[in-house]
């Protein structure tokens, strides 16, 4: 179990504290939903969590097999639905690896990404499009 404290500070702004590490982050409502857009929105954190989770579980698998993936990057696009209720409608994830890997490694790492805990926790109506760049040239582009 992990505990997270969230305090509403006014003006559609929250401060969140991760109990185990005492690290904090802030959220703000997006400009298109009455906010100032000064920080991550709560739905931005969902998109961020997806990219981070995919890379993390891929990293766990890569370490187990001694596959080099330091510098791998994920770029996530979050698209809100145009109908009500307001929700995430689509997430597009571009994963770029810093070096080419053999087909067996690529297949296993792609499966790890597609089955990460955050992906498994998303509502099935959210369209999740994941694209992988295995050329070894895309990581610099994504991280720039």
CATH at residue 55:
3.30.300.20
Encode 67-77: b = buried (16+ Cβ within 10 Å), e = exposed. Answer: bebeebbbbbe
Same domain, 49 and 28: no
Residue-wise pLDDT tens digits, 103-126: 999 999 999 999 999 999 999 999
Residue 130 has pLDDT above 60, yes or no: yes
Same domain, 28 and 46: no
Residue 46: its pLDDT value, please? Answer: 98
Domain that holds residue 82: 42-143
Residue 21 has pLDDT above 80, yes or no: yes
Residue 135: its pLDDT value, please? Answer: 86
Same domain, 60 and 102: yes
Looking at the structure of the chain, the number of domains it has is 2
Same domain, 19 and 85: no
Give the mean pLDDT of 2-17: 96
Residue 142: its pLDDT value, please? Answer: 55
Q: How confident is the model at residue 98 (pLDDT cuts 50, 70, 90)?
A: confident
Same domain, 61 and 103: yes
Same domain, 24 and 55: no
Same domain, 68 and 29: no
Give the mean pLDDT of 48-66: 98
State how far the Cα of 12 lies from the Cα of 21, in Å rounded to an integer: 25
| Helix, strand, coil share (%) of the chain residues, nearest 5 | 35, 30, 35
88-96 vs 127-133, strand pairing mode:
parallel
Same domain, 28 and 57: no
Same domain, 127 and 74: yes
Same domain, 108 and 135: yes
């Amino acid at each position: 179990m992990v505990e997270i404290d969230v305090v509403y500070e006014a003006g559609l702004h929250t401060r969140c504290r991760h109990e185990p590490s005492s690290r904090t982050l802030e959220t703000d409502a997006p400009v298109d939903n009455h906010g100032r857009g000064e920080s991550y929105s709560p739905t931005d954190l969902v998109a961020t969590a997806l990219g981070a989770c995919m890379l993390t579980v891929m990293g766990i698998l890569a370490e187990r097999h001694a596959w080099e993936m330091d510098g791998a990057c994920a770029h996530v696009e979050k698209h809100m639905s145009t109908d009500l209720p307001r929700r995430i409608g689509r997430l597009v994830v571009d994963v770029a690896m810093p070096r080419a890997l053999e087909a067996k490694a690529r297949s296993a790492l792609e499966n790890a990404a597609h089955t990460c805990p955050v992906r498994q926790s998303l509502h099935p109506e959210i369209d999740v499009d994941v694209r992988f760049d295995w050329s070894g040239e895309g990581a610099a582009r994504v991280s720039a």
